[in-house]
Amino acid sequence: MLLYEYGLSDIMAPEPVIEMRKLTKYYGRSRGIIDVDLIVERGEVFGFLGPNGAGKSTTIRTILDYIRPTSGFARVNGMDPQKEGAKVRRSVGYLPSDFETYHGMTARKYLRTLLSMMEYRGRDRIEELAERFQLDLDRKIKEFSRGNRQKVGLVSAFMHYPLLVILDEPTTGLDPLMQQEFYNLVHEEKEAGRTVFLSSHILAEVEAICDRVGIIKEGRLIVVEAMRSFKEKTGKIMQVRFDREVDPSLFSSIRGVAHVEVPEPAELTITVSGNIDAVIKELARHTVLELDYEDMSLESLFLKYYEKELPNRRKADAAGGAAA
């Protein structure tokens, strides 16, 4: 089925748009991904989170049949990538993390060539998207900055109205204004019933646009949950320096404070989930010399919630390998 043959019934189909079962990929003895089970429903924006090297790109490349799994299987838009790889790739819009183009072409020529190669004969959105992202279609790509080349990649992913768009680190190189325009576009795609699978290592980006998130670390999918419950587990990190030592229990006992560390005498690092009012009121009872306040990083979130789970899994893997 070619892209222009899709209709409303395809958008509303109950079958998951992405399904992975025990999907595993090893590169020789090196780990890629291990036993990834995941369902992505039609019409949702799914955030795929993880630090660099966690397995995000390997997962994407496997479900698009750019690489073959060691074991397990996947289905994309109801198709088996290993049997119908070309059809799968024509049925999605894809922006890889290492997006490259033919630098000698103009943006317009490059995008039109892509449409021809995928045998797409329907209405396209090249002009509309180029205007939104302030992209000059008639300049040669070799003259573009990193951000403008990324815009070419974004236009190529959305230009043919795909039912599924897979984006690997999509906002790399974009300025804040263009990032917001991208967020607006993703919201519009969701409203139109399309599906976006977004891989990122930027927590704030995923929080801004996703319905659900999955976190992958060291090749394993360690959590999948709704964005609302995920946000409740994220928080702010307050780094405070006082004029004297302060008992950390004064803060750790406050509701909403997830963790308190003492990096140096008279210093506290306070991780707060939820309302910070009670923390501010307690701080006001002391002499504060310095105060820094920032969003929790993705890596901090991993350490906070999964530092006990991952060593246990490593032990299980080692035991399983010894038994084998």
Burial tier of 146 (Cβ tally within 10 Å: 0-12, 13-18, 19+): exposed
Measured at the alpha carbon of residue 167, what is the angle toward residues 162 and 170, in degrees to the nearest 5? Answer: 125
Measured at the alpha carbon of residue 110, what is the angle toward residues 124 and 116, in degrees to the nearest 5? Answer: 55
pLDDT recorded at residue 295: 72
Q: How far apart are CA 185 and CA 183, in angstroms?
A: 5
At 98-150, the pLDDT tens digits run: 888 888 999 999 999 999 998 898 899 999 999 999 999 999 999 999 999 99
Map out the domains of the chain with their CATH numbers. 3-231 (3.40.50.300), 235-295 (3.30.70.100)
Low-confidence ranges of the chain (pLDDT < 50): 1-12, 308, 316, 318-324
Burial tier of 270 (Cβ tally within 10 Å: 0-12, 13-18, 19+): buried
Mean pLDDT of the chain: 87
pLDDT recorded at residue 100: 83
Kind and range of the H or E run holding 183: helix 176-191
At 294-323, the pLDDT tens digits run: 877 656 666 655 554 555 555 545 444 443
pLDDT recorded at residue 141: 95
For residue 201, CA distances in Å to 35, 99, 118, 263, 301 come to 21, 17, 30, 26, 12
pLDDT recorded at residue 247: 96
Q: pTM for this one?
A: 0.77
pLDDT recorded at residue 136: 97
Q: Is 197 left (phi over 0), alpha (psi -120 to 50) or beta?
A: beta
Kind and range of the H or E run holding 74: strand 71-76
For residue 178, CA distances in Å to 49, 81, 172 come to 21, 33, 11
